[in-house]
Protein backbone atom coordinates (compact mmCIF):
# COMPACT_ATOMS: atom_id res chain seq x y z
CA UNK A 1 0.00 0.00 0.00
CA UNK A 2 1.14 3.53 -0.65
CA UNK A 3 2.81 5.12 2.33
CA UNK A 4 2.00 8.64 1.19
CA UNK A 5 1.21 10.76 4.24
CA UNK A 6 -0.97 13.29 2.44
CA UNK A 7 -3.93 14.17 4.67
CA UNK A 8 -6.17 15.49 1.89
CA UNK A 9 -9.63 13.93 1.43
CA UNK A 10 -8.56 12.54 -1.95
CA UNK A 11 -5.49 10.88 -0.43
CA UNK A 12 -7.69 9.33 2.27
CA UNK A 13 -10.04 7.98 -0.40
CA UNK A 14 -7.09 6.50 -2.32
CA UNK A 15 -5.82 4.77 0.84
CA UNK A 16 -9.32 3.38 1.52
CA UNK A 17 -9.62 2.15 -2.07
CA UNK A 18 -6.19 0.47 -1.89
CA UNK A 19 -7.23 -1.25 1.36
CA UNK A 20 -10.46 -2.57 -0.20
CA UNK A 21 -8.58 -3.90 -3.25
CA UNK A 22 -6.04 -5.61 -1.00
CA UNK A 23 -8.72 -7.08 1.29
CA UNK A 24 -10.54 -8.58 -1.69
CA UNK A 25 -7.31 -10.02 -3.04
CA UNK A 26 -7.51 -7.96 -6.22
CA UNK A 27 -4.14 -6.32 -5.72
CA UNK A 28 -1.05 -7.20 -3.78
CA UNK A 29 0.39 -4.31 -1.74
CA UNK A 30 3.97 -5.09 -2.76
CA UNK A 31 2.97 -5.26 -6.46
CA UNK A 32 1.24 -1.91 -6.15
CA UNK A 33 4.31 -0.39 -4.49
CA UNK A 34 6.56 -1.78 -7.24
CA UNK A 35 4.29 -0.36 -9.95
CA UNK A 36 4.20 3.05 -8.28
CA UNK A 37 7.96 3.04 -7.79
CA UNK A 38 8.55 2.09 -11.43
CA UNK A 39 6.23 4.89 -12.57
CA UNK A 40 7.81 7.56 -10.38
CA UNK A 41 11.29 6.41 -11.39
CA UNK A 42 10.42 7.16 -15.02
CA UNK A 43 8.58 10.39 -14.14
CA UNK A 44 11.09 13.18 -14.56
CA UNK A 45 11.12 16.73 -15.92
CA UNK A 46 13.69 15.52 -18.45
CA UNK A 47 10.77 13.92 -20.32
CA UNK A 48 9.11 17.31 -20.77
CA UNK A 49 12.45 18.87 -21.68
CA UNK A 50 12.85 16.33 -24.52
CA UNK A 51 9.33 17.03 -25.81
CA UNK A 52 9.96 20.78 -25.89
CA UNK A 53 13.36 20.43 -27.57
CA UNK A 54 11.84 18.21 -30.28
CA UNK A 55 9.07 20.76 -30.84
CA UNK A 56 11.66 23.51 -31.19
CA UNK A 57 13.58 21.66 -33.92
CA UNK A 58 10.72 19.87 -35.71
CA UNK A 59 7.86 22.11 -36.86
CA UNK A 60 5.67 19.17 -37.91
CA UNK A 61 6.10 17.49 -34.50
CA UNK A 62 5.28 20.83 -32.86
CA UNK A 63 2.06 21.18 -34.87
CA UNK A 64 0.98 17.62 -33.99
CA UNK A 65 1.86 18.17 -30.33
CA UNK A 66 -0.26 21.32 -30.12
CA UNK A 67 -3.13 19.62 -31.97
CA UNK A 68 -3.17 16.27 -30.11
CA UNK A 69 -0.45 15.79 -27.52
CA UNK A 70 -1.63 12.33 -26.42
CA UNK A 71 -1.24 10.92 -29.92
CA UNK A 72 2.08 12.69 -30.47
CA UNK A 73 3.91 11.72 -27.25
CA UNK A 74 4.56 8.11 -28.36
CA UNK A 75 6.80 9.52 -31.12
CA UNK A 76 9.31 10.31 -28.36
CA UNK A 77 8.57 7.17 -26.31
CA UNK A 78 6.19 8.82 -23.83
CA UNK A 79 2.49 8.66 -23.03
CA UNK A 80 -0.16 9.96 -20.67
CA UNK A 81 -1.30 6.39 -19.91
CA UNK A 82 -0.76 4.39 -16.78
CA UNK A 83 -3.36 6.00 -14.55
CA UNK A 84 -6.75 4.75 -13.41
CA UNK A 85 -8.50 7.10 -15.81
CA UNK A 86 -7.45 8.54 -19.15
CA UNK A 87 -5.88 11.99 -19.01
CA UNK A 88 -5.77 14.39 -21.91
CA UNK A 89 -2.63 16.46 -22.19
CA UNK A 90 -3.02 19.94 -23.66
CA UNK A 91 0.18 21.65 -24.74
CA UNK A 92 -0.20 25.43 -24.85
CA UNK A 93 2.36 27.55 -26.66
CA UNK A 94 3.92 30.78 -25.47
CA UNK A 95 4.29 33.40 -28.19
CA UNK A 96 5.51 36.98 -28.38
CA UNK A 97 1.99 38.12 -27.44
CA UNK A 98 0.71 35.34 -25.14
CA UNK A 99 2.21 33.76 -22.03
CA UNK A 100 0.61 30.65 -20.53
CA UNK A 101 0.70 29.46 -16.93
CA UNK A 102 -0.74 26.27 -15.44
CA UNK A 103 -2.51 25.67 -12.13
CA UNK A 104 -4.88 23.18 -10.57
CA UNK A 105 -7.28 25.20 -8.44
CA UNK A 106 -8.88 22.12 -6.84
CA UNK A 107 -5.81 20.20 -5.71
CA UNK A 108 -2.58 19.60 -7.61
CA UNK A 109 -3.38 17.87 -10.90
CA UNK A 110 -0.20 17.85 -12.92
CA UNK A 111 1.44 15.75 -15.70
CA UNK A 112 3.86 13.89 -13.41
CA UNK A 113 5.12 11.62 -16.19
CA UNK A 114 6.37 14.67 -18.10
CA UNK A 115 7.36 17.03 -15.30
CA UNK A 116 8.28 14.76 -12.40
CA UNK A 117 6.76 15.26 -8.96
CA UNK A 118 5.08 18.63 -8.59
CA UNK A 119 6.89 21.38 -6.68
CA UNK A 120 5.59 22.24 -3.22
CA UNK A 121 4.56 25.74 -4.29
CA UNK A 122 2.35 24.29 -7.07
CA UNK A 123 0.25 22.53 -4.40
CA UNK A 124 0.05 25.56 -2.10
CA UNK A 125 -3.27 27.31 -1.57
CA UNK A 126 -1.57 30.66 -2.10
CA UNK A 127 -0.39 29.77 -5.62
CA UNK A 128 -3.61 27.97 -6.56
CA UNK A 129 -5.82 30.91 -5.64
CA UNK A 130 -3.66 33.89 -6.52
CA UNK A 131 -2.38 32.84 -9.95
CA UNK A 132 -5.97 32.82 -11.22
CA UNK A 133 -6.88 36.29 -9.94
CA UNK A 134 -3.46 38.01 -10.17
CA UNK A 135 -1.28 36.02 -12.58
CA UNK A 136 1.06 38.89 -13.45
CA UNK A 137 1.77 39.48 -9.75
CA UNK A 138 2.48 35.79 -9.16
CA UNK A 139 4.81 35.58 -12.16
CA UNK A 140 6.70 38.60 -10.88
CA UNK A 141 7.16 36.80 -7.54
CA UNK A 142 8.87 34.06 -9.56
CA UNK A 143 11.10 36.69 -11.15
CA UNK A 144 9.25 36.78 -14.47
CA UNK A 145 8.21 40.28 -15.53
CA UNK A 146 6.29 40.36 -18.78
CA UNK A 147 5.53 43.40 -20.94
CA UNK A 148 2.21 45.04 -20.04
CA UNK A 149 0.73 44.18 -23.43
CA UNK A 150 1.46 40.43 -23.07
CA UNK A 151 -1.75 38.48 -22.57
CA UNK A 152 -1.49 35.95 -19.73
CA UNK A 153 -3.65 32.84 -20.04
CA UNK A 154 -4.16 30.68 -16.96
CA UNK A 155 -5.00 27.01 -17.59
CA UNK A 156 -6.76 25.08 -14.83
CA UNK A 157 -5.85 21.38 -14.79
CA UNK A 158 -8.24 18.75 -13.46
CA UNK A 159 -8.58 14.99 -13.14
CA UNK A 160 -9.20 14.53 -16.87
CA UNK A 161 -7.06 17.31 -18.36
CA UNK A 162 -3.42 18.19 -17.77
CA UNK A 163 -1.49 21.09 -19.26
CA UNK A 164 2.10 21.71 -20.24
CA UNK A 165 3.51 24.97 -21.56
CA UNK A 166 5.62 24.97 -24.72
CA UNK A 167 7.98 27.86 -23.92
CA UNK A 168 9.40 30.14 -26.57
CA UNK A 169 12.72 28.97 -27.92
CA UNK A 170 15.51 31.17 -26.54
CA UNK A 171 17.14 33.45 -29.07
CA UNK A 172 20.67 32.59 -30.13
CA UNK A 173 20.08 28.83 -29.97
CA UNK A 174 19.87 28.07 -33.70
CA UNK A 175 23.18 26.18 -33.64
CA UNK A 176 22.28 23.93 -30.68
CA UNK A 177 21.37 20.27 -31.05
CA UNK A 178 18.10 18.87 -29.78
CA UNK A 179 19.92 17.41 -26.74
CA UNK A 180 21.57 20.75 -26.02
CA UNK A 181 18.23 22.53 -26.30
CA UNK A 182 16.67 20.07 -23.84
CA UNK A 183 19.28 21.18 -21.30
CA UNK A 184 17.96 24.75 -21.56
CA UNK A 185 14.39 23.86 -20.57
CA UNK A 186 13.25 24.09 -16.93
CA UNK A 187 10.31 22.60 -15.07
CA UNK A 188 9.08 26.08 -14.18
CA UNK A 189 9.20 26.91 -17.89
CA UNK A 190 6.89 23.96 -18.56
CA UNK A 191 4.47 25.25 -15.91
CA UNK A 192 4.78 28.83 -17.14
CA UNK A 193 6.26 30.46 -14.06
CA UNK A 194 9.56 31.10 -15.86
CA UNK A 195 10.80 31.91 -19.33
CA UNK A 196 13.38 29.60 -20.86
pLDDT value for 4: 38
pTM metric for this prediction: 0.80
d(CA 59, CA 57): 6
Task: Summarize the confidence of residues 41-63 as an average pLDDT.
Answer: 93
Task: Summarize the confidence of residues 142-158 as an average pLDDT.
Answer: 97
More confident position, 164 or 2:
164
Q: Which residues, including other chains, have CB under 8 Å from residue 89's CB and lie 6 or more apart? A: 69, 70, 73, 80, 111, 114, 161, 162, 163, 164
Task: Summarize the confidence of residues 26-55 as an average pLDDT.
Answer: 76
pLDDT value for 47: 95
pLDDT value for 2: 37
The domain segmentation of the chain, as residue ranges, is 9-41, 43-191
pLDDT band at 83 (very low <50, low <70, confident <90, very high): low
Is residue 155 within 8 Å of residue 99, measured between CB atoms? no
Among 113, 103, 107, 59, residue whose Cα is nearest residue 83: 113
Helix/strand/coil percent split, the chain, to 5:
45, 10, 40
Fold of 43-191: Nitrile Hydratase; Chain A (3.90.330)
Catalytic residues: 104, 107-109
pLDDT band at 11 (very low <50, low <70, confident <90, very high): low
Amino acid sequence: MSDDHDDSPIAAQVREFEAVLEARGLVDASELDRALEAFTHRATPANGFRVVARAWVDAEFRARLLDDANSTLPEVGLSMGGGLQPQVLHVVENTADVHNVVVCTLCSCYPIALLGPSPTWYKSTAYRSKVVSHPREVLEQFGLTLPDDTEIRVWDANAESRYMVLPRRPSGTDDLTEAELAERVTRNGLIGTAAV
